[in-house]
Amino acid sequence: MVDASMDAVMVSDLDLRVIYYNTNMLELAGLRPRELRRARAQGMCHNHFGLETCDEPDGCVARRAIDNRRHLRVDEVRCASPAGDESRRLIIVAVPLLDTEGHPYAVLEQYRDVTAESRMQEHYKNLLKKERERLERLAAEVEQQATLARTDPLTGVANRRWFDETLAAAIDKAVHTNEPLVLLMFDLDHFKKVNDTYGHQTGDEVLRQFANVLRRCTRADADVVARVGGEEFAVLMPGCTLDMAVKAYCRVREQNARTGLLTTCSCGIACLHIDADNASGLFKAADSALYASKENGRNRVTVAADLDACPLAAPGKGEALSAGPF
C-alpha cells in the first residue's frame, strides 16, 4: 500500500533512523538507496530539502509526533530541490505507530509534493490580481469619462446637461421632504465688450476666474455650480432660504471685485414652493429675475417673488470696465 502511494513515504524508529522508504522518497530526497537506508530522519529533511521545520531538534515533525503521540501536519513547507535549481513546496504528515499498549515504536512520514498545485494557485492569484487591477483602472477611466461628460471643459464646473439632471432630482427630493431649494442665475455684465476689447483668450480667463469665485462662495458639499450658457452660470442651493441666497450673492459680488475681474455680475433668485413647483418653472422664474437685474442697471440681484425690488444697487448703467489684473 505504501509502495503504491503517489507520495514520498518513509518509516523511522524511535531514534529516527530510517527503516523503510518507497521509491518516491528516493526521488524526492535525491538520494540513492544506500544513502537513505539507516539515515537519521531528524535533520535529514533539512539537509536534503532545506525544510524550516527541521532547523532545530524541537522542530522535527517526526520527533514531535512521537513525543506527543499524535499525528502532525505541516502545510506548504518550502524547500529546495535535490539539484538546488528550484523551490519545492511540501505537505508533511507524521503519524506515530503505536503498539497494543499505546506506546510508539516507530513513526511514518508522508511527504506530498504540491509544487505544481501551488504554482498553479499562485498563477491564478496573479491573474486575478491583474484582472482586479485592470477592472480598477477601467472603473477609474469610466469615472473619469463620466466626470468629463458632466463638466464644462473651460471652467471645470458642471455643464448644462448635468445641471438639468441635478436640478430635476433636487426638486423631486425637495418636494418630497418639503425642504427649501433656491436657484441663483448669474450673468457677467458687458461680457461681449470684454471679448471685443481684450480678446477671447482674456474672456475665457474671466469665465474661469468667475467660476472659481462661485465655488469659493458656495458650499462644496451641497451646492451645485454650473455654466449653463456662454457667460451665464447657475447655482443650486438645496436647503437654503432666500436670505441665505442673497447673502451668497453678496459674497460673490465682493469676491468678484477683490479678484479684479474686468466685469461685474448680475443675479436672479427663485425659490421652490414660492416661485415655481417644477424645474422649468423654477429656471424660468430665476431667469426672469436675472433679466430684471440686467434691465435695472446690472451688478445687482433681483428676487423673482418681487421683480420690482433691487436690494443691491449698481453704480449705474453703462459702468466703465476696469483694466486691472485678474
| Per-position DSSP letters for 37-105, written without gaps between them | TT-BSTTHHHHHH--GGGSSGGG-HHHHHHHHTS-EEEEEEEEE-TTSSSEEEEEEEEEEEE-TTS-EE
Tell me whether residue 210 is in a domain. Answer: yes
| One domain, residues 124 and 170 | no
Tell me whether residue 324 is in a domain. Answer: no
| One domain, residues 163 and 259 | yes
* Predicted structure pTM score: 0.58
| One domain, residues 87 and 222 | no
Tell me whether residue 320 is in a domain. Answer: no
Count how many domains the chain has: 3
| One domain, residues 253 and 284 | yes
Tell me whether residue 3 is in a domain. Answer: no
**How confident is the model over 210-237, as pLDDT tens digits?**
999 999 999 989 999 999 999 999 999 9
Confidence of residue 62 (pLDDT cuts 50, 70, 90): confident
Given the residues 231, 232, 295, 319, select the one marked as catalytic: 231
What's the CATH code of the domain at 52?
A: 3.30.450.20
pLDDT score, position 324:
32
Residue 153 has pLDDT above 60, yes or no: yes
| One domain, residues 195 and 279 | yes
Tell me whether residue 311 is in a domain. Answer: no
**How confident is the model over 109-118, as pLDDT tens digits?**
998 888 888 8
Tell me whether residue 326 is in a domain. Answer: no
Tell me whether residue 265 is in a domain. Answer: yes
Instruction: Please list, residue by residue across 213-248, b when 16 or more beta carbons sit within 10 angstroms of its beta carbon and e when fewer do.
Output: bbbebbeeeebbbbbbeebbbbbbbbbbebeebbeb
Strand 265-271 with 181-188, pairing: antiparallel
DSSP state of 277: S
| One domain, residues 185 and 135 | no
pLDDT score, position 82:
59
**How confident is the model over 250-299, as pLDDT tens digits?**
999 999 998 888 899 999 999 998 999 899 999 999 999 999 999 999 99
Confidence of residue 47 (pLDDT cuts 50, 70, 90): low
Residue 17 sits in which domain range?
Answer: 8-113
| One domain, residues 145 and 170 | no
Q: Does the annotation mark 231 as catalytic?
A: yes
